[in-house]
Amino acid sequence: MPELPEVETVRRGLDPVMSGLRIAHADIRRPDLRWPFPPRMSERLTGARVTQLRRRSKYILADLDTRETLLIHLGMSGRIVVQGAQVGVFHHARTDPEKHDHVVLDMEGGARIVFNDPRRFGAMDLMPTATAEDHPLLAALGPEPLGNAFDEDYLVGRLRGRGTPVKAALLDQKIVAGLGNIYVCEALYRAGIHPARKAGKVAPKRIAKLVPIIRDVLSEAIEAGGSSLRDYRQADGDLGYFQHRFRVYGREGGQCATADCPDVVRRVVQSGRSSFYCPTCQR
């Protein structure tokens, strides 16, 4: 599933062809994705101007001049591609909708925004902008890891006394929003913290050290266009490149990236997810 860097990369790709422009026509090509679409979705989107395109956790939020906000979640296999407009250095001609093109937004100015989702685990919803943060998918989310509310004192306080593994705690969206398996593995490696260590047993100084490391990992991934492992593509259709910088994720059996470390990367399954780590460098 796309994590924060991938979603932010898509948002940045959509921003030039959506923000400030009207949706000339919304073609809703099926009644649902993971859940049913809201009533009259096509009518409510057609003619609406996008006043702002933002991200909350792993969700893209398009604020409209109709005082509604369109929520978009890519799910496991969803991707958004821009067609029919020059954006930076890429250009894709419009094509006839394909089998898994479930939502097609034709923007004034000529851009076509295509939401493709073969497995239909994605989601879209419309909600009042004024109360968007109260939406069931957003209400319980923790602070953004790149925002001011996520600081050393906050994270130390939230992890104090917790008996869950530190990796599980960082994946808890109520503690910090948007982090996923890939970037937590990478951040814990850089911080030298074993993913199975109980969160409450990690010294406060080491927890505090995690905050700038998490920010660095996420910022580097955004700069690289995210990580392409399966279905993820940027809005221009290109792959992300951060997977080429992984130090532990997916590198089971490979030599540890730390200079002079004799050990290799190991893998352990935690709550059904693979954790990659170096047993020498991470304690």
The catalytic site residues sit at 2-3, 58, 273
φ/ψ (deg, to 5) at 268 = -135, 145
Are the CB atoms for 206 and 198 separated by under 8 Å? Answer: no
Neighbour tally for 279: CB within 10 Å = 13
Rounded distance, CA 173 to CA 33, Å? Answer: 22
Residue-level length of the chain: 283
Q: Match 């001049």 to its residue by tokens.
A: 65
Q: Give the H/E segment covering residue 163.
A: none
Rounded distance, CA 175 to CA 170, Å? Answer: 7
Rounded distance, CA 55 to CA 193, Å? Answer: 29
Pseudo-torsion of CA 71, 75, 78, 79, nearest 10°? 60
- Contacts (Cβ under 8 Å, ≥6 apart) of 86: none
Residue 69 is encoded by which pair of tokens?
A: 């906000």
